[in-house]
Amino acid sequence: MVTRLAVLSVPFVVTLLFIGPLPVSAFGSESGDQTFLPPTWAVQHDVACKVPTGKVDDASCDVDAVEQANSDQLHSILHELMNTTYFRLISISLEGKCKYWDKSISEAKCTAQTPVNPFAAAAANIPPPPQEKSQCSLDTGGTKVPAKEEEPELEEKDPYEDVDLDDDDDDEDDDFDDDDEDEDESPNFNPLKYFSRYTKTTDKVDMEISSREQATLELEPCDNASLPDFWLDMCRNIPTNSSDYVNLMLNPERWTGYNGSHVWNAIYHENCFEKMGDLEEMCYEERVLYRLLSGMHASINIHISLNYFPPSKRHNRSDWAPNVQRFMDQYGTRPERIKNLHFAFLVLLRSLRKAAPYLYNYPFSLGDGVEDRRTQRMVQRLLDSHLMTSCGQVFEAFDESLMFREEEGGATTQARLKAQWKGVFHNISTVMDCISCQKCKLHGKIQLLGMGTALKILLLPEQLIAASLTRPELVALFNTLAKFSHAIRSVPILAQQFLQFQRSYRTEILSEQLRSSENSAAPPPPSVSSLPPPSASASFSSSSSFFSPSNTVKVPVDVALDSAMAALAAAGMAGRIPEAEEDVLVDGLLARDEDLLLLARHYAPNSPDRFLRHAARRARTGAIGRGPRSVSAPPAPPAPVVDAVVIGGGLAGLSAALTMLDRGGRVVLLEKQGHLGGNSAWASSGVNAVDVNNTASGDSVDAFTADTVKGAGRGDNPLIPVLTSGSVDALAWLRGRLSEHLSLDLVGQMGGHSFPRTHRPSSGLAGSAMIFAIQKQLDKYAQEREPRLQLMKWTKATKLLTDESGAVVGVKWEVVGPPSAVKEGRPMASGEVYASNVLIATGGYASDYTEDSLLKEHRPDLLKYATTNNKGTTGDGHKLALAVGAKGVDLDDVQVHPTGFFNPRDPDNKVKTLCAEILRGEGGVLLDSKGHRFANELGTRDYVTGRMIEADPETLKFAQIMNAEAAKKAETHIGLYTKKELIRKFETLEELAAWDYWDGKVSAGTLERAFAKYDADAKTGRDAYNKTFFHNVPVSNAAPYYAGIVTPVIHYCMGGIAISPDGSVLRDDGSAIPGLHAAGEVIGGLHGKNRLGGNALSEALVFGRAIGNKLEIGKERARQPPSPPTPPPTGGGAAETGAGGSGGLKQISKAEMATHKTEESCWVSINDKVYDFTNFLDEHPAGAEAILRFGGQDGTEIFEAIHTPEMLEDFTP
């Protein structure tokens, strides 16, 4: 392990502390609103600067991904967030005394003399390469501070009290209009004189420390590096004990003229690890700290360059103006420094991702209800999982687990490195008190505190994060993140401003040379390197006569191409042009496309924005990028129409589609039924997920993984960790992205789970509520002016389209619904749609009893059982994938659920209603026909089914009974099943004993003995069937009782298509089929031989969203998608509209209602309003029969038992 903190601190000096006065002279017209420094000819480049590209060192992400995420979403959210009251006010101590040198150095003055070399001060302070190991004069142990008696007595002194800030004592309101001196262009110009009239550079802040805060400061440090709380005191040397607050909006980061070279020296020279070395020789931990400080350096310097020249009437500046020359001198040839800014940004984003579960519900409150809610909503918008996953690459690019690993030296070496590393950070924090410029100190401390907070989050165990963060630390973290974001966004802006001025000089010179040679024969184009430097009086005007319409002189091709490429590069860096268009234009310029050459010669040198506009317009027509004209050139192959075709409208397909749409993608969704939801809409128990915000539950991802592995019964599986760890994000997405229409406010424990983790709504059933919430969001996309979502109902995918390499490139489809599903006037019964990717999310094959069914092929023994699946679950996706070479996995693993309701009124129906497992989870007891218990009700599904077959192989009918308390916990389900007459209510034990199911063979005494034994076992914590969780006991004397008859039913197909952990469909040889992906029940191998209850919805969400996040979006599209068939209306019209134009609803008699109860006309009354559901019958997820049963009558009770009121928003009464 080698180290060199000297190298580590190099960028930090210029950064934080601002090296000192830079040369100040202005260029530009008197009427301009910005001031620039005239570039010397030696630094006039063909392009503005070396653009940072490629991988961000020490992170798994590239520069383009960071800038894209920042430009698309992060910057705007962070900018708005910093304007909230909570985040613009911070308490931070600025009164700490410098401990490391005397006051003559600590109170370094701001000099009025400008050095010739703007970075002479910086260069002078860069030490020579290290020779040998040196002693550190500052403590690096992280536990000690200088003894009080050793601290020098330092007086507080205004660092500018000896500097004449105003050269005109008689005119304090001069407003910089001194006609005797051109302040900006004077070689001895002192910018500090401006501050006396506009703003002080070292505003004092009253920092009072309360006794309680002082006690906090005196807490014992965390010295033991082997303990998990070692990092709790990461920010202890940046005290936030002030009783006053600083408004950051009133203290912007800009140039102050402060010379902080002495602080640089302290940080650079006086901190070291035990070994020295170059950056390449540093260990990972040292590089992390170096890059963080370097990134902080870049951020501060960029902000200073953005706000360098103060307002001036003389120079017509009403606001602060940038110094682009300063920016270029620092970063024009040092892109690695900008990349370190990207690295620091990634580290902070990773900390935000790790703390998201805690921060999501953090009370960002200052007492103003409206403002507090606005702040929390914006924080939640930033933390919403769909944003974190759409920008997932940047939120996960830094891996803190690589830090402080045990190597050769073992735990001792690791502990020593931790102590040194934290000690260095503490020392740098302490040196901040040696900055005598208050505003410099303010911004330096805040950003160092923000980075320290991020490091604390990353290095602490998750369970300690919630208790470790303070309000000032959170304010500093978010402000630092916003600073880095703004700096990244400003880099291309400053580079473009510099480039524009460089181009103006070159244009003027070329104009003069070309004018002088107009009458010469074939004048050679001048070389850029041979052109003389511009005169000091060169104009910045863009209206050179050389480019006037009347001028006939042509711009040389090389100059035109150079200007065009520079304009394109600047636009790409600023994110002002889509990546696909940028690619086309770059290729066209390199190939010297005739169209682009013509545009470049007439527009690019003087009107780059117009050049880009016209070039992009041509590119979108497909006319650019093919090089010189060629009659024989073959036409380019058609580009994909959309980013993805999703086959299947269940939870997996819908969550993937919404995720892609949120990222800006275009999606075609095929659903062969007339409604969305599939089997997901029937799922009632809930969705399994680890709630990291509920620390009291004791649940964890590891526990969830262990339960799933145990239930699967086949050992470790690479898909299981994807499911269990992804459940955390899935739950956050449901609570955040879908919060408008979904509330998962209840949680229960299902069979096979060691903790309660099954989340469900208190209103409505879990599956249908989730489907409804997603569909409402999809409706918004479908209603866009240029919709990116095409929903094709009644449309079945019949074939996957592939290219010569075997990659899937699209889908062939056909309409399978009623005639109304085909667009009137232009029938389209079949067609093709091309896409970059195809996602199969068609569910299982548990409802296919046909001759060629997968069920008959692989599990003919199960054909005798009924199913809980809807009629559309026929293995379509499996057959499509297998036809193009996909591998099938565990196709004989089909789950039989132990509790499907047996309805005595309809005994032969092959489709049974599932008795949700949550009923057993809340305390439901299973009894056989003799009134005896026979199993652990919370055992896995295969176990309970097996026990049923042993207990009563002939009838396979059992009683499930719940007491009053258990029924109350599952009242939504109980209400639904009672309305469907699948569960009966018994007021007493005697009534329960008289139930027809027992056929007179069971007495009240038998039941009482069974319940009493159950209650006794609950007290001991274990029964004869190894049951250890007994919810809502006692069962004895706990009437009323709720009971129903249950029987095993085919419920779920664990087998399916083989996929990789990222959802790519695999062949038999393990290779991925390009362009083909799968999610939901269609995949195989995840659940082994038994799926735990609640994992179906989790699987659909986790893998659907993972694929939605991984697929590439935004590719060029040269074709329009085929017109989809028009589905029938999703909702019925009014049975009767208001009469007489009054807008009221017509009164409908019971007699008239009773006539509308058929498939031709079906009306249902809900909450005293009549709805015409005729056109919705075929689209209803539960089938037409469920509605027809209440046709012509009131259906309020059954509707409210199943649905939320929002379900009726699509229907007009």
The pLDDT value recorded for residue 584 is 82
Percent of the chain residues past pLDDT 90, beyond the cut: 30
Instruction: Provide the residue type at 852 as one letter.
Output: D
Write down the catalytic residue from 426, 735, 859, 897: 897
Give the range with max mean pLDDT: 16-20, 34-38, 510-514. Answer: 510-514
Pure H helices in 796-872: 854-858
- 436 versus 735: the higher-pLDDT residue is 735
The pLDDT value recorded for residue 888 is 95
pLDDT category of residue 556 using cuts at 50, 70 and 90:
low
Q: pLDDT for 953-981, tens place per residue?
A: 989 999 999 999 999 988 888 988 898 89
Percent of the chain residues past pLDDT 70, beyond the cut: 70
- For residue 923, the 8-state DSSP code is T
The pLDDT value recorded for residue 770 is 93
Give the C-alpha separation, 579 to 561, whole Å.
20
Q: pLDDT for 593-625, tens place per residue?
A: 877 888 887 777 767 777 888 888 777 766 664
Residue 432 near residue 98 (C-beta atoms within 8 A): no
- 688 versus 66: the higher-pLDDT residue is 688
Give the mean pLDDT of 205-221.
Answer: 43
Give the mean pLDDT of 556-583.
Answer: 75
Q: Tokens 């063909």: give the residue.
A: 46
pLDDT at 411 over 80: no
- Which 3 state secondary structure label does DSSP give 399? coil
pLDDT category of residue 823 using cuts at 50, 70 and 90:
very low
Token pair of 551 as six digits: 């001028």
Q: pLDDT for 445-498, tens place per residue?
A: 899 999 999 999 999 888 788 778 888 999 999 999 999 999 998 888 888 777
Give the mean pLDDT of 1031-1057.
Answer: 94
- 547 versus 275: the higher-pLDDT residue is 275
Residue 737 near residue 646 (C-beta atoms within 8 A): no
Q: β-strands 89-90, 246-247: how paired?
A: antiparallel
Q: β-strands 746-748, 758-760: how paired?
A: antiparallel
Give the mean pLDDT of 764-779.
Answer: 88
Indicate the angle between helix axes 579-590 and 594-602, nearest 10 degrees: 90
The pLDDT value recorded for residue 613 is 81
Write down the catalytic residue from 920, 973, 1031, 1203: 920
Cis peptide before 1034 (omega within 30 of 0): yes
- Mean pLDDT check: name the lowest of 752-766, 822-836, 1151-1165: 822-836
For residue 1087, the Cα-to-chain-centroid distance in whole angstroms is 28
CA distances from 1054 to 532, 709, 1107 (A): 76, 14, 20
The pLDDT value recorded for residue 684 is 74
pLDDT category of residue 396 using cuts at 50, 70 and 90:
confident
Question: Mean pLDDT, the chain, as a whole number?
Answer: 74
Contacts for 377 with CB less than 8 Å, ≥ 6 apart: none
Give the C-alpha separation, 156 to 71, whole Å.
43
844 Rama class: left (phi>0) / alpha (psi -120 to 50) / beta = beta
Q: pLDDT for 888-898, tens place per residue?
A: 999 999 989 99
pLDDT at 178 over 80: no
Q: pLDDT for 312-363, tens place per residue?
A: 776 778 888 898 888 888 888 788 889 999 999 999 999 998 888 888 878 8
The pLDDT value recorded for residue 268 is 52
The pLDDT value recorded for residue 427 is 84
pLDDT at 1213 over 80: no
Pure H helices in 985-1130: 989-993, 1004-1020, 1095-1110
- 409 versus 500: the higher-pLDDT residue is 500
pLDDT at 420 over 80: yes
- 1135 versus 994: the higher-pLDDT residue is 994
Residue-by-residue DSSP string for 701-715: HHHHHHHHHHHHTS-
The pLDDT value recorded for residue 819 is 57
Closest among 1211, 1213, 1205 to 1177, alpha carbons compared: 1211
Q: Tokens 């002479």: give the residue.
A: 120
Closest among 942, 807, 937, 960 to 862, alpha carbons compared: 942
Q: pLDDT for 60-99, tens place per residue?
A: 888 888 888 888 778 888 988 888 889 988 888 887 877 7
Give the C-alpha separation, 621 to 600, whole Å.
18
Give the range with max mean pLDDT: 283-292, 1013-1022, 1140-1149, 1200-1209. Answer: 1013-1022
Token pair of 663 as six digits: 């990222």
- Mean pLDDT check: name the lowest of 63-67, 709-713, 1182-1186: 1182-1186
pLDDT at 812 over 90: yes
- 272 versus 1199: the higher-pLDDT residue is 1199
Exposed/middle/buried for residue 293 (C-beta within 10 Å: 0-12, 13-18, 19+): buried
The pLDDT value recorded for residue 562 is 73
pLDDT at 626 over 90: no
pLDDT at 512 over 60: no
Contacts for 81 with CB less than 8 Å, ≥ 6 apart: 87, 375, 378, 379, 382, 478, 482
Cα torsion through 16, 21, 23, 25, rounded to 10: 100
Closest among 807, 836, 835, 883 to 1057, alpha carbons compared: 883
Token pair of 341 as six digits: 């800014």
The pLDDT value recorded for residue 989 is 95
Give the range with max mean pLDDT: 634-638, 1074-1078, 1163-1167. Answer: 1074-1078
920 carries an active-site annotation: yes
- Mean pLDDT check: name the lowest of 152-156, 517-521, 568-572: 152-156
**Which residues sit opposite 1078 in a β-bridge?**
840
Instruction: Provide the residue type at 1118 as one letter.
Output: A
| Residues 680, 681, 682: CA angle, nearest 5 degrees | 90
Cis peptide before 363 (omega within 30 of 0): no
- 121 versus 266: the higher-pLDDT residue is 266
The pLDDT value recorded for residue 392 is 64
The pLDDT value recorded for residue 1179 is 62
Residues comprising the chain, all counted: 1213
What's this model's pTM, rounded to 2 decimal places?
0.45
Q: 327: how many CB neighbours lie within 10 A of its CB?
A: 26
